[in-house]
Chains A and B, each alone.
Chain A
């Protein structure tokens, strides 16, 4: 029991500690593909360190929401890893707090608070960023719900652990069209939600900004918390994609220290694969105009609908 609690803490710590590494790896690989030197894969750690040692400047117009948002976002991202299989393939204490929908709800709560904070300070860019972020969320959310419904119909359960066990135990289900379409739909959502191309909102050019515009008014440790939270969100989505859908193998089965180390290494290997795919997409595909975002998400919607159709028939 004590060991399980320790493992649960390890899951959260792994997400905390490794999420900047994932971000650094993606950025570095992109630089290397473009034949540039790149800042190295540890640059996000150095950025966070620098930001935590700077002073906080608060806009005069800001209310308590400005202070609350970074903490809520950060806490939400620390809560989700408890619910999903990060290191072990069996449920740990408190992982029955919520199912897949519960996890999605907490993830959305984090983004919702950041949207409120963007509106709160009253600056023009914060408003633009908030409105665009909500627009993308409106387009992405129905697909996310449909993907969850598809997973539920496939595994007859809403718990990520059950899905993981089903896919490991049953290769026929793994290779069934329903599952392959769910992977495709979720991959598009993953690329959209983590601000990669074809939307690529994490640029500093004002007219394209989405994510950055919402947190433009933040500085110092608060900004560091927000950046860290968004890296953790990326890590969590990658974890769900890999450990629940794409590569359900390579998780610790008994929870020994060696097994957990092995599953950390396996997780890094899986992420490396996904990162390579994402870098290929980013390099090959140019950024879409804002009014064409819906095309990508409509494709994802179609994949999710096809997956649900296919689950009905198998």
Chain B
């Protein structure tokens, strides 16, 4: 396993990038405007791409460079561009019906981080990895996932939900890059195309919401149609 024996510099670079992406997840959680939300997502994807490149450099996995480039182009440019097109078409600038205030959401996110630290700590201890970057990577992976779930549950705009789902996926990808860098190339490419399909599906859903319900809030989808 790569993370169990890293030199201190590489370990600190990895942890700094991982924590930076967690911070960007918090920026998304606390932002009111959809466009800021989108920028933070793009920035997070770039950080994760840089992390892949760092893993490729320190772990000698040449194909991870390709993954890094694909991540930066696909998650950092193409997906945000698609979502930006939807935002521009819809004239929805911000989240209107918030269940949680951004500040309460931030505190709830902090609690999620504490929870995932506890879980990761236990797992790390049982695997004999306590005190390595593996625990940090696991913590951040779990907490970005929980934050993604939090975004999905406290926001109603369809666009926020696309981004919440993408953040969730970013978290898993980040954890995979650090913990199991030797994943087959094919799987990674398949995941990237999966994301494309998610965004296209949500684009269709948004179209449907606008044409049939007249708003983009998923709160209007209450009636069960058989």
Say whether B12 faces chain A, with CB atoms less than 8 Å apart: yes
Task: Identify which of A298, A306, A314 contacts B30 (C-beta below 8 A).
Answer: A298
- Mark B6-29 against chain A: 1 for CB-CB distance below 8 A, else 0: 001000100110010011001000
Name the interface residues of A282-314: CB closer than 8 Å to any CB of B: 294-295, 297-299, 301-302, 305-306, 309-310, 312-314
CB-CB nearest in chain B for A305? B110
Bound together, the chains give a CA A228 to CA B104 distance in angstroms of 36
Q: Which of A176, A181, A302, A309 contacts B106 (CB 8 A)?
A: A302
Q: How far is the CA of A172 from the CA of B9 in the complex (A)?
A: 9
Contact B107 A298 (CB under 8 A): yes
Say if the beta carbon of B117 comes within 8 Å of chain A.
yes
Binds A, one of B62-70, B131-139, B205-213, B215-223: B131-139
Q: Mark A150-184, 1 if CB is under 8 A from B, else 0.
A: 00000000000000000000001001110001000
Whether A312 and B117, one on each chain, are in contact in the complex, defined by CB atoms closer than 8 angstroms, is yes
CA A313 to CA B102, docked complex, whole Å = 28
Out of B8, B19, B103, which one reaches A172, CB within 8 Å? B8
Query: Could you say which interface size class chain B belongs to?
Result: 20 to 34
* A299 smallest CB distance to B (angstroms): 6
Task: Give the nearest-CB partner of A297 in chain B.
Answer: B103
Q: Are B135 and A298 in contact (CB under 8 A)?
A: no
Q: B23 and A309: CB pair below 8 A?
A: no
Contact indicator B15/A310 (Cβ below 8 Å): yes
Q: Does B178 make an interface contact (CB < 8 A)? A: no
Q: What's the minimum C-beta distance from A206 to chain B, rounded to whole angstroms? A: 26
Partner of A306, one of B23, B103, B131: B23
Chain A contact residues (Cβ within 8 angstroms of B): what range? 10 to 19
CB–CB A302/B19 < 8 A: no
Q: Does B56 contact A (CB under 8 A)?
A: no
Contact A309 B117 (CB under 8 A): yes
Q: How far is the CB of A214 from chain B (nearest CB, A)?
A: 25
Indicate whether B114 reaches chain A with its CB closer than 8 angstroms: yes
By a CB distance below 8 angstroms, the chain B residues around A302 are 26, 106-107, 109-110
> Is there contact, CB below 8 Å, between A295 and B30?
yes
A306–B106 CB distance below 8 A: no
Indicate if the CB atoms of A306 and B15 lie closer than 8 Å. Answer: no
Question: Smallest CB-CB separation from B135: which chain A residue?
Answer: A313
The complex places the Cα of A177 from the Cα of B113 at a distance, in Å, of 15
- Give Cα A314 to B8, complex, Å: 10
With A298-B103, A313-B136: A306-B113 Cβ-Cβ less than 8 Å: yes
> For A301, what are the chain B residues with a Cβ–Cβ distance below 8 Å?
106-107, 110
Interface centre among B16, B106, B109 (most CB of A within 10 A): B106
Query: Contact between B113 and A175 (Cβ–Cβ < 8 Å)?
Result: no
In the complex, chain A residues whose CB is within 8 Å of the CB of B121: 312
A294 touches B103 (CB 8 A): yes
Closest beta carbon of chain B to A191's beta carbon, Å: 16
- Per-residue CB contact flags for chain B residues 109-122 toward chain A (1 = under 8 Å, else 0) read 11001100100010
Complex formed: what's the CA distance from A298 to B108 in Å? Answer: 10
Contact (Cβ within 8 A) B12 A306:
no
List the A side residues contacting B131 at CB < 8 Å.
Answer: 313
Bound Cα distance A294, B30 (Å): 12
Q: A309–B114 contact, CB under 8 A?
A: yes
CB distance from A295 to the nearest CB of B (A): 4
- Complex formed: what's the CA distance from A313 to B14 in Å? 13
A295-B102, A298-B107, A301-B107 given; A313·B23 CB < 8 A: no
B16 x A177 contact (CB < 8 A): yes
Is there an interface contact between B12 and A309, defined as CB atoms closer than 8 Å?
A: no
Contacts of A175 in B (CB 8 A): 12
Q: Which of A294, A299, A305, A313 contacts B15 (CB 8 A)?
A: A313
Measured CA separation A306–B23 after assembly (Å): 9
Check B106 against A299 for contact (C-beta < 8 Å).
yes
| Cα separation A129 to B121 with both chains bound (whole Å) | 45
Distance, CA A295 to CA B8, complexed state (A): 35
Residue with the greatest number of chain A CB neighbours at <10 A, chosen from B19, B26, B135: B19
| Extra 18 A-B pairs, beta carbons < 8 Å, given A177-B12, A298-B106, A313-B139 | A172-B12, A177-B15, A177-B16, A294-B101, A294-B103, A295-B30, A295-B102, A298-B30, A298-B107, A301-B106, A302-B106, A302-B107, A305-B110, A306-B110, A312-B121, A313-B15, A313-B133, A313-B136
Would you give 25 A-B contacts (Cβ < 8 Å), ordered by A?
A172-B8, A175-B12, A176-B12, A181-B19, A295-B30, A295-B103, A297-B103, A298-B30, A298-B102, A298-B103, A298-B104, A298-B106, A299-B30, A301-B107, A302-B106, A302-B107, A302-B109, A302-B110, A306-B23, A309-B117, A309-B139, A310-B15, A310-B19, A312-B117, A313-B133
Cβ-closest 6 pairs across A and B: A298-B103, A298-B106, A305-B110, A294-B103, A295-B103, A313-B136
